[in-house]
A = this chain, B = another copy of it.
C-alpha cells in the first residue's frame, strides 16, 4: 500500500501554482496533508482542493515543518531563500524557478528524458525552463537513437510564461487597441497585443537573453551531453498559454522524416499532429490544457543533408511547468526517493 505525503505548494496562487493544485487533484497524488503557501500579499486567499477549502498561508519560518514534499513556483529569489530551509526541515523540494537548475548537486529532470538523475538528489530537484522541457521531450527520443549535433530553435512564447497577470495584460491590451485606445503596459516592457518582441530577460555579453541561455545550458544538462550545440531565439507572442517552437536539428548522420516520425510516435509525452492535406499541424490553442507536446511538420531540411525540421506546441503552464513537477513528484513516490535528506548543497 502506498504511503501518503504531506505536501506544500509554495506560490500556490500563481498561474503555475493553480495548475499544480489542479493536477495534484486530477492525478490523485497521494496526499495526507496539504498546505498552500504564498507571499504575504497573496496570503488569505481561499483555494479549493477535492471540494475542500484551503486558506493560503504566508510563507514564514516553520512553514515547512512536518512537510514531506514542497512544490515551489514562486520565483527565483523566493526559492533561494526558502528551498534550503525546507530541505533543512526535512522536505524534498521540486523547484520550478531557475535558482538551482545549473547547480551540480541539483538534478534537472524531465521525467521522459532523465528520470535516473533523480536518484542522486540531495533534497532539491529543479524543474527545467518551460521552452526547454517542451524541446527536450520532442528532441531526446531522436537524440537517443541518432545523436543530435546542433539545434537551431526559434520560439513563439505565450504570455503565460510571465504569469497570470501577463495573460490578463494581453487581453486588456487587445481590448484597448480594438477600442482605439493606447494599450497600457505593466508586466511587459512593450505592448504584446497584436505585437511580438524578443524575450525581455537580461542579455549576456554574447547578446543571448537568459531564456535563450536556459535552452542552451539546461538542454545540455538534461541530455547529459555537453557537446550538444544549441542556438536559440526566444520571442514573446500574443498567445495566452501555450508555447510553440520551430526546431531545426542537425544530426551527425542523415535521419529520414519517416524514421523520426516512427521514433516520436512511440515516445512518451508526445502526440503527432499532422494532416498535410489540410495544413493541420500543432497550434497553441489546441495544446492548451493538454498534457502532451504536440509535434508536426516533421520534414527533411532541404538545406542540409543531416538536417531535420519539426514544429511543436505545448502547454507552457502544464507540461512546461506544473505537470513536469507533478510527474517528478510521482517518480519520487514510485522510486521511494522522498525520504528526508540532509542538504549538502553548494549554493
- Interface on A for B, CB 8 Å cutoff? 150-152, 154, 156, 170-171, 174-175, 178, 189-191, 194-203, 206-209, 216, 229-231, 233, 235, 237-240, 244, 246, 248, 257, 276, 278-281, 283-285, 296-304, 307, 309, 311
Contacts and interface: CB of A to CB of B under 8 A. Distances in A.
Contacts of A206: 299-300, 302
Given A189-B279, A238-B194, A207 B150 contact: no
Contacts of A156: 156, 196, 235, 237
A273 to B, nearest CB: 11
Contacts of A200: 279
Contact of A233 (B150, B216, B278, B309): B309
Contact of A246 (B197, B235, B238, B284): B235
B229 A195 contact: no
Contacts of A190: 280, 283, 285
B178 A283 contact: no
A279 B152 contact: no
A235 B155 CA distance: 11
A208 B299 contact: yes
Contacts of A299: 206-208
A154 B151 contact: no
A230 B196 contact: no
B189 A309 contact: no
Contacts of A178: 171, 174-175, 178
A216 B279 CA distance: 19
Nearest to A301: B231
A152 B195 CA distance: 23
B279 A203 contact: yes
Nearest to A190: B283
Contact of A198 (B150, B199, B303, B311): B311
B194 A151 contact: no
Contacts of A276: 203, 207
A246 B233 contact: yes
Among A189, A240, A279, A280, find the residue whose CB has the most chain B CB atoms closer than 10 A.
Answer: A279
A233 B311 contact: yes
Contacts of A170: 194
A326 to B, nearest CB: 26
25 contacts: A152-B301, A154-B233, A156-B235, A156-B237, A171-B178, A178-B178, A190-B280, A191-B285, A194-B238, A194-B285, A195-B283, A195-B285, A196-B237, A196-B283, A197-B279, A198-B296, A198-B311, A200-B279, A207-B276, A207-B297, A208-B299, A208-B302, A230-B303, A231-B307, A248-B248
Contacts of A237: 156, 196, 237-238
Nearest to A230: B303
A15 to B, nearest CB: 16
A286 to B, nearest CB: 9
Contact of A239 (B196, B302, B303): B196
